[in-house]
Amino acid sequence: MKIYISTDIEGVTGIAHWDETEKTKEDYRYFAEQMTREVEAACKGATNAGADEIWIKDAHETGRNLDPSKLTENIRLIRGWSGHPFSMVQGLDESFDALMYIGYHSGGGTNFNPLAHTMNSSTIDYIKLNGENCSEFLLHSYIAAYLGVPVAFLSGDKGLCSEAHKLNENIVTVAVNEGIGNSTVSIHPDVAISRIKEGVEKALRKDLDKCKIKLPSSFEIEIKYSTHAMAYRHSFYPNVKQIGPKTIILNSEDYFEILRGVLFLT
């Protein structure tokens, strides 16, 4: 069994502030370690379920956060950023049996996580896809749908877990924290490790075909920037229309064209 794991940090247990996500801050080291522990737990659960090859994309900021020495030996770890439009699931293809997410968070424009954002948090207010707020989970899960790969598991904040269930009720989720205003309520880090390991193992022992996501037939991506100047500049990208002082849209029937747009527009 060949499994892909994409991991972020803003949805690991205990996290509550941007300082805890940035390498230059003192608070970062602990949460990078917890990120590694949660990925390690997912790897152990996947291995127990029969996975003999696990690809991991370190998908937070620099792409260089995980401690590889703490992970199981059957991994292939993707560090850094290639620049490919698949971004946080770089290298995902039809050969994978399932895609899983660790440490993911709610998207920009929602109130389920004080660190909620979609892609570039410093320049993007929100991204909408076909009229709905788009999280990084949804954006990349549609890549899995594009390729026919099931989405089996997600850990992160409670709001995002609810979003996953709306997308496909068969996705196994573990909510490790809940955002309330500018705070989070989290479970104990060791409890998170146990639940992630058990949840991944449970997810991969299920009928994975039931975890496939239906891809829409057409797409409209709407991006609201933090400044009007960015919207104006990006309005010159092919087929983009500016619909407000800070907002642009791009339409396509090919999801890869939407991903190409996100790459250059965010």
Phi, psi of 7 (to 5 degrees): -130, 140
> Do the Cβ atoms of 163 and 156 come closer than 8 Å?
no
Annotated ligand binding at 254? The verdict is: no
Q: What distance in Å separates the CA atoms of residue 232 and residue 246, rounded to the nearest whole number?
A: 8
Domain identity same for 244 and 177? no
* Pair of tokens at residue 168: 């496909």
Domain identity same for 8 and 135? yes
Q: What distance in Å separates the CA atoms of residue 124 and residue 227, rounded to the nearest whole number?
A: 9
**Which structural domain, as residue segments, surrounds residue 25?**
2-211
Domain identity same for 122 and 248? no
CATH of the domain at 130: 3.40.50.10780
Domain identity same for 67 and 171? yes
Annotated ligand binding at 209? The verdict is: no
> Is 117 considered catalytic here?
yes
Domain identity same for 57 and 185? yes
Domain identity same for 192 and 132? yes
Domain identity same for 184 and 237? no
Domain identity same for 128 and 35? yes
- Rounded to two decimals, the pTM is 0.97
Domain identity same for 202 and 232? no
Residue-level pLDDT, tens digit, the chain, 266 residues: 999 999 999 999 999 999 999 999 999 999 999 999 999 999 999 999 999 999 999 999 999 999 999 999 999 999 999 999 999 999 999 999 999 999 999 999 999 999 999 999 999 999 999 999 999 999 999 999 999 999 999 999 999 999 999 999 999 999 999 999 999 999 999 999 999 999 999 999 999 999 999 999 999 999 999 999 999 999 999 999 999 999 999 999 999 999 999 999 99
Domain identity same for 195 and 238? no
Question: How many domains does the structure of the chain reveal?
Answer: 2
Annotated ligand binding at 10? The verdict is: yes
Domain identity same for 55 and 157? yes
Q: Where do the H-state alpha helices sit in 168-218? A: 189-204
84, 117, 140, 228: which is the annotated catalytic residue?
A: 117
**Cα distances (angstroms) measured from residue 130 to each of 41, 67, 140, 251, 262:** 35, 37, 15, 9, 14
* DSSP-derived 3-state class of residue 54: strand
Annotated ligand binding at 8? The verdict is: yes
Domain identity same for 36 and 133? yes
